Amino acid sequence: MSRPETANAEPWYRQFWPWFLILLPMLAVVGGIVTIYVATSSPHSMVVDDYARIGLATHRKLERDRQAADLGMRADLDLAADAAEIRVRLSGGGSRPDHLLLRLSHPTVSSLDQTLTLPGYGEIYSARLALPLTGRWYVQLEPPDGNWRLAGELDEGARNLSLVPATGDR
């Protein structure tokens, strides 16, 4: 048997395969460090820790929805053609407050959220918008005392929306 020629062999650090085998775990370490950095440096406003508080708030919202259903409340929202004014026609039982609170919440950008006070003239309530409504919006209408609530979603390009009480438990 002849022995392999070792005198002309290159050292290990000049070979391809050792570096390739070292590179794979190093890429995993670098990827882990990048993941840890992104996880710790980004805001996590969508993560909620206090589930009991959220459960109670949801229960209160459902009670207000049931109250609106018991009163037979309904509201029709109309946006002006220039999308600068919003008008609400309120119908149903119950007393008519002198003004209503309208919350417009953007699904992803909380800095665009608006809360408007709509002064009333009979069954019609109206106000000017602070920002134009582009995209999709969550709409919530309630009296100043917060006894009932009507909620819905305004889709992009829509100029009117009917708010009726939610039915059933969500």
Q: Report the pLDDT value the prediction gives residue 110, as an integer from 0 to 100.
A: 84
Paired sense of beta strands 114-121 and 124-128, if any: antiparallel
> CB neighbours of 42 closer than 8 A, spacing ≥ 6?
none
Q: Report the pLDDT value the prediction gives residue 1, as an integer from 0 to 100.
A: 54
Residue range 153-169: mean pLDDT, rounded? 79
Q: Please give the torsion angle defined by the CA atoms of residues 143, 144, 147 and 149, in that order, rounded to the nearest 10 degrees.
A: 40
Q: Report the pLDDT value the prediction gives residue 27, as an integer from 0 to 100.
A: 96
H or E, element range at 102: strand 99-105
Q: Is the dihedral of CA 10, 13, 14, 18 positive or negative?
A: positive
Tell the residue number behind the tokens 């996880």, with chain if given.
39
User: Where residue 157 falls among pLDDT bands split at 50, 70, 90?
Assistant: confident
Question: In one letter, which amino acid is 47?
Answer: V
Provide, rounded to the nearest whole percent, the portion of the chain with pLDDT above 90. 19
- Over 50: is that where the pLDDT of 169 sits? no
Q: What is the pLDDT of residues 14-45, one digit of tens each?
A: 999 999 999 999 999 999 999 999 988 877 66
Q: What is the pLDDT of residues 42-66, one digit of tens each?
A: 776 666 667 777 777 777 778 888 8
Q: Provide the whole-model pTM.
A: 0.63
Q: Report the pLDDT value the prediction gives residue 45, as an integer from 0 to 100.
A: 63
Q: What is the pLDDT of residues 71-114, one digit of tens each?
A: 888 889 888 877 678 889 988 877 788 889 999 888 888 888 88
